[in-house]
Amino acid sequence: MHHIYHTHGFVLGSHNKGEANKMLTVYTREMGLVRAMVQGVRLHKSKLRFSLQDFSYARIDFVRGKEIWRITSASNISSFPFARSSKSSLLIIARISKLLERLCDGEESNEKIFDDFIQAIVLLDDIEVSSESREALELHLVLRILNTLGYIGDSLMLMDYLGGNIDLSQTETLLREKRSIISHINKALNESQL
What is the average pLDDT across 72-84? 92
Alpha carbons 28 and 8: distance in angstroms, whole number: 6
**In b/e form, how buried is each residue of 78-90, taking b as 16+ CB within 10 angstroms?**
ebbeebbebeebe
- Asked if CATH classification 3.40.190.10 holds for the domain at 4-78, the reply, yes or no, is no
Question: Is the pLDDT at 194 greater than 70, yes or no?
Answer: no
- For residue 106, the model assigns a pLDDT of 77
The answer to whether residues 181 and 171 touch, using CB atoms and an 8 Å cutoff, is no
Using the 8-state DSSP alphabet, how is residue 53 labeled? S
- For residue 11, the model assigns a pLDDT of 96
pLDDT tens digits, 99-126 = 999 998 777 889 999 999 999 999 999 9
pLDDT tens digits, 29-71 = 999 999 999 998 898 888 888 899 999 999 999 999 888 999 9
Question: Is the pLDDT at 139 greater than 80, yes or no?
Answer: yes
Backbone φ and ψ for 8, nearest 5 degrees, come out as -95, 140
1 pLDDT band, cuts 50/70/90, is: low
What is the average pLDDT across 70-96? 93
- Calculate the CA 166 to chain-centre distance: 14
- Calculate the CA 162 to chain-centre distance: 18
Q: In the chain, where does the domain assigned CATH 2.40.50.140 lie?
A: 4-78
Fill in the amino acid letter for 162.
Answer: L
SS3 34: strand
CB atoms within 10 A of CB 22: 23
The answer to whether residues 100 and 116 touch, using CB atoms and an 8 Å cutoff, is no
Top pLDDT among 194 and 59 is at 59
Residue 186: exposure state from Cβ atoms within 10 A (0-12, 13-18, ≥19): exposed
pLDDT tens digits, 141-178 = 999 999 999 888 777 778 878 888 888 888 778 888 88
